[in-house]
Amino acid sequence: MDIRLRIPTMWRLRTRTLELGRRTRVMGIVNITPDSFSDGGAYLAPEAAVSRALQLLEEGADLLDLGAESTRPGSRAGDATPAVSAEEEQARLLPVLEAILRARPDAVVSVDTYKAATARAALAAGAEIVNDVSGFTWDAAMPGVCAESRAGVVLMHTRGRPEQWREQPQLAVDAVLTMVREGLTASLELAVHSGIARESIVLDPGYGFGKRFEENYALLARQRELLALGRPLLAGVSRKSFLGRTLAPLHGGHDAPIDARETASVAALTAAILNGASIVRVHAVRAAVEAARIADALLDSAQES
């Protein structure tokens, strides 16, 4: 396997740039929600969320990703009415964002939202990046907000809506990458057409977002092919359900519980790095930083040979 994949590039954010490709960047997750699949409720209180964010920075996170609405399967009641209003999302998010930046003005903060109103408020409060799980498909105003602010953006591929995922027909193994590539291409073209610089864009294949269990492995195995789109890749595989399903034989035939997926998460993120990811989005930062060091050393060795 040719692992000489990543070319160093600069990711243009709202007020600064971040080098990608020379070493893996670790994005630490802070869920300010009562119902996220992994740690819902643990950091809903602002003080707990801020403490967690500062801990992740101390553990070596290069970026923080703050989310205030869960997008786990079945988390939304319908297309027209979000489970969390923009007002409630901002009430959860903004105090945490502001407190983090008071404590650590140098922190690079991403906001996980698909709502333009929330993105606008968060960028005004100091966020550098908008991480849109819908790839600009759920709120038509989002591209304009990101273009106007010159924010960094993460465009993720999502197949359908969360409430649809459990009922979606299974894809043929060779159809998964094609679907993701076409979806990311459309999101990328929309972003550029809206005035967002290509240098501001990172792409995310969207593991678990409308992909059934084994479909995620087909995507991960061929993830490097998405580099042909010309933008760096972010991979979010941490604690995902497809990992828990694979571990079921070790847990009496039942999917491994969330707290038993950490080793599998490290294995999957290492595979993602070796298949071209420049950023990994994780819950357990220290383990990810250590795994990334090893994967990066292998990539460096391949570059030198």
With CA atoms as reference, report the closest residue to 21 among 30, 32, 10: 10
State residue 1's pLDDT score. 46
Residue 277 and residue 275: Cα distance in Å, rounded? 6
In a domain, 2, yes or no: no
**Residue 179 domain flag:** yes
What one-character-per-residue DSSP string does 246-289 give? HTGGGGTTSPPPGGG-HHHHHHHHHHHHHTTEEEEEES-HHHHH
Q: What is the pLDDT of residues 245-302, one digit of tens each?
A: 999 999 999 999 999 999 999 999 999 999 999 999 999 999 999 999 999 999 998 8
- Amino acid 167: pLDDT: 78
Nearest-angstrom CA–CA distance, 250 and 243? 12
pTM comes to 0.93
Domain that holds residue 280: 9-304
**How is residue 188 annotated by DSSP?**
H
CATH of the domain at 285: 3.20.20.20
Which is catalytic among the residues 22, 240, 286, 293?
A: 240
pLDDT score of 28: 98
Q: Are 7 and 42 in contact (CB under 8 A)?
A: no
Helical H segments across 201-250, by residue range: 213-221, 241-246
Residue 269 lies in a domain: yes
- Cα 85 → chain centroid: 21
| Helix, strand or coil, per DSSP, at residue 52 | helix
Q: Look at the alpha carbons of 133, 139, 142, 143 in this order and tell me if their dihedral is positive or negative.
A: positive
Alpha-carbon span 181 to 164, nearest angstrom: 21
Residue 219 lies in a domain: yes
Residue 48 falls inside a structural domain: yes
Element (H, E) at 303: helix 285-304
Strands 25-31 and 63-67, by their bridges, are parallel
Q: Is 115 a catalytic residue?
A: no
Which one of the listed residues 245, 281, 286, 293 is annotated catalytic? 281
pLDDT in tens, 203-240: 999 999 999 999 999 999 999 999 999 999 999 999 99
DSSP letter at 50? Answer: H
Residue 88 lies in a domain: yes
Cβ within 8 Å of residue 298, ≥6 positions away: 3, 274
The number of distinct structural domains making up the chain is 1
User: Residue 274: inside a domain, yes or no?
Assistant: yes
Asked if pLDDT for residue 79 goes beyond 50, the answer is no
Our answer to whether residue 281 is catalytic in this structure is: yes
* pLDDT at residue 44, as a whole number: 81
Asked whether residue 184 carries a pLDDT value surpassing 90, the answer given is yes
